[in-house]
Amino acid sequence: MGRIRYGLWWLDQATTGPRSRVRAVGDGAATVGRELRWATELSVRSTVAGIDHVRPEPWGDRKLLVLVTVIAVGALAVALVLGVGMARWAMTLSNAMPFAAVGALAVGLAFLPLAYLVFVSKRRGRRS
């Protein structure tokens, strides 16, 4: 047996344990991945089926008032946090835009419920 073949045989024997552990971890990860894909597929199917059966109804004045009040309080809290953060940012850091970008995202997310209110209150035609 030559030195190269002996070296390869020795390397194979020395790495048998780690290779089997890596293979076991890989098999476990593949199993977990298949389960997650299956759970995600079931969740998407049930969500799509649920969306197909939803029939929104116009909300009453009291429910709309409560929702708008909650949105207003949340928007006030977001504005307060953004105002304090922007003031600190303007005083200390020049050219730091991530805070401003996050603030713009937060304001956009605050307007999403208002857009939902506009479209949920529309009356739809009868479905059969």
Span 66-105, pLDDT tens digits: 888 888 888 788 778 777 777 776 676 665 567 667 777 7
Q: Dihedral, CA atoms, 30, 32, 33, 34, nearest 10 degrees?
A: 90
Choose between 41 and 92: higher pLDDT.
41
* pTM higher than the cut 0.85: no
The answer on 81 and 45 residing in a single domain is: no
CB atoms within 10 A of CB 75: 16
Q: Are residues 62 and 103 located together in one domain of the fold? A: yes
Among the candidates 11, 37, 52, a domain finishes at 52
Based on the fold, state whether residues 116 and 81 are members of the same structural domain.
yes
- Answer yes or no: do 44 and 70 share one domain: no
CA 11/CA 33 separation, integer angstroms: 31
User: Which tops the pLDDT comparison, 46 or 53?
Assistant: 46
In-domain check, residue 126: no
Q: Please count the structural domains in the chain.
A: 2
- Residue 125 domain flag: no
CA diameter of the chain:
90
Do 65 and 29 belong to one domain? Answer: no
* Same domain membership, residue 68 and residue 116: yes
Residue 103 contacts residue 86 (beta carbons within 8 Å): yes
Residues 112/78, Cβ–Cβ less than 8 Å: no
Domain region containing 34:
3-52
More confidently predicted of 39 and 72: 39
Question: Is the pLDDT assigned to residue 125 strictly greater than 70?
Answer: no
What is the mean predicted confidence (pLDDT) over 34-61?
Answer: 84
Contact between 120 and 59 (Cβ < 8 Å): yes
Query: Mean pLDDT across the chain, nearest whole number?
Result: 78
